[in-house]
Structure 1
Amino acid sequence: MDFSEKPVLTGDRTVLRPFTAEDADTMWEIVNDPEVVRFTFEPSTELTLDGLRSWYGVRTADPDRLDLAVTDRATGELVGEVVLYEWDPAARGCTFRTLVGPRGRGRGLGSEATRLIVGHAFERVGLHRVQLEVYADNARARRVYEKAGFMVEGVRREAALRGGAWVDGVLMAVLDHEWEARARTDATQVTGEPRLYTP
């Protein structure tokens, strides 16, 4: 059980696929978007285009993490990424993060991408727990995570200095049995009868 398999995950609006080095130019634009910078990176983070080319060129090689490009299914445009990392095989858990650039926002792409990769973690990889941390003032991301079933477990008070102000870090997680129960409920509400959930 690890992340050796680098799948293609297809939803109604998005396709998640492995990265290639050619994606670096688009990701360079995305990671320099002010909202992405504000909510994703430490202030001291220094990124370069060459560094991104090296990074995305080898994302398919790591068995202990899964980085997938989020693309718009209708156009094929790369709009962001979803990542499962910090894999703990003994606890069957990992950490999740995502970022979506401006052209992917407000259309449900991030929500669907989150459900697809978390569903993969539970249903294909066999994980027990997926966790994340989000800044308290990132309301958009918190809504996405809550819709996907993540629950608040705690708060790291004034955990980061962002733009001259202290911001809390909100710890969230979802467990395999919670995911299964929620998926079963969602499937029943859609069809009126129980069915096997396929993300």
Structure 2
Amino acid sequence: MVELRRGGVNLLIRPLERKDLKDVHGVRNEQDTMAYWFEEPYESYDELEELYNEHIHDTHERRFVIEEAGEFAGVVELVDIDYIPRTCEIQVIVLSKFRGRKLAQKAMESALEHAFYILNMHKVFLYVDTVNKSAIHVYKKLGFQLEGTMKEQFYARGSYRDCYFMGILKHDFMRDRQHK
């Protein structure tokens, strides 16, 4: 559990709990939000609860809730954790009413610290729609590097979408933290 207090913002990053499923269910059924994750905005609560039960002890994922002033603001996840090459994917969603407050950036920074300092990952990567300029800006600020463009990789909003594959290496993340 990480609690950040900066600039009057009371931000908490904590593990996902069963009590959060109602909020997560709402997020996972928003079409605009799920388009950023290139996923279908359809999931029943029963399915989500079943997935939660199935993955509660899964060592290949870590899911965290983002709270601001005690209110659910989104999720940040480390998924597809592979302990051989020491890599994982990171994903973040911040509810629209909380956007513009740098919550995604702060939550991702906390999740990256967890990935590199706790899980000893070597590399964390992500996929982002090439037209999602605000997200790309945040990822670059965190130190992610563009590694390639994947043509028509995902289907969202009625068309195939190009996406960038971006990654950050542990030694680059640590170097950047030392210079701040």
TM-score w.r.t. length of structure 1: 0.80
Give the alignment's Cα RMSD to 1 decimal: 1.8
Q: Larger % of strand: which? A: 2
Match of 1:28 in 2: 25
**SS across alignment from 1:61:** coil
Looking at structure 2, the residues matched to 21 and 57 of structure 1 have their Cα atoms a distance apart, in angstroms, of 9
Cα deviation for residue 57 of structure 1 reads 5.1
Looking at structure 1, the residues matched to 79 and 47 of structure 2 have their Cα atoms a distance apart, in angstroms, of 19
Looking at structure 1, the residues matched to 156 and 35 of structure 2 have their Cα atoms a distance apart, in angstroms, of 8
Looking at structure 1, the residues matched to 125 and 111 of structure 2 have their Cα atoms a distance apart, in angstroms, of 13
Alignment gaps of 5+ in structure 2? none
Q: Which has the higher contact order (CA 8 A, sep 6+)?
A: 1
Deviations 1:98-131 (Å, cap 9, x if unpaired)? 1111122111111100001101111222111111
Alignment gaps of 5+ in structure 1? 1-7, 187-199
Q: 1:60 to 1:103 in 2, by over 3 A?
A: farther
Match of 1:190 in 2: none
Looking at structure 1, the residues matched to 124 and 53 of structure 2 have their Cα atoms a distance apart, in angstroms, of 26
Higher alpha-carbon Rg: 1
Q: Does 1:11 align with 2:4?
A: yes
Cα deviation for residue 62 of structure 1 reads 1.7
**SS across alignment from 1:11:** strand
- Residue identity over aligned pairs, in percent, reads 26
TM-score w.r.t. length of structure 2: 0.88
Q: Contact 1:79 / 1:104 at 8 angstroms: preserved in 2?
A: yes
Q: Does 1:54 align with 2:54?
A: no
Looking at structure 2, the residues matched to 115 and 130 of structure 1 have their Cα atoms a distance apart, in angstroms, of 11
Looking at structure 1, the residues matched to 57 and 155 of structure 2 have their Cα atoms a distance apart, in angstroms, of 34
Deviations 1:23-57 (Å, cap 9, x if unpaired)? 121122222334312212434x6311222233345
Q: 1:104 to 1:59 in 2, by over 3 A?
A: farther
Aligned length in residues: 176
**SS across alignment from 1:86:** strand
Name which of structure 1's ranges 111-120 and 130-139 shifts more when overlaid on structure 2.
130-139
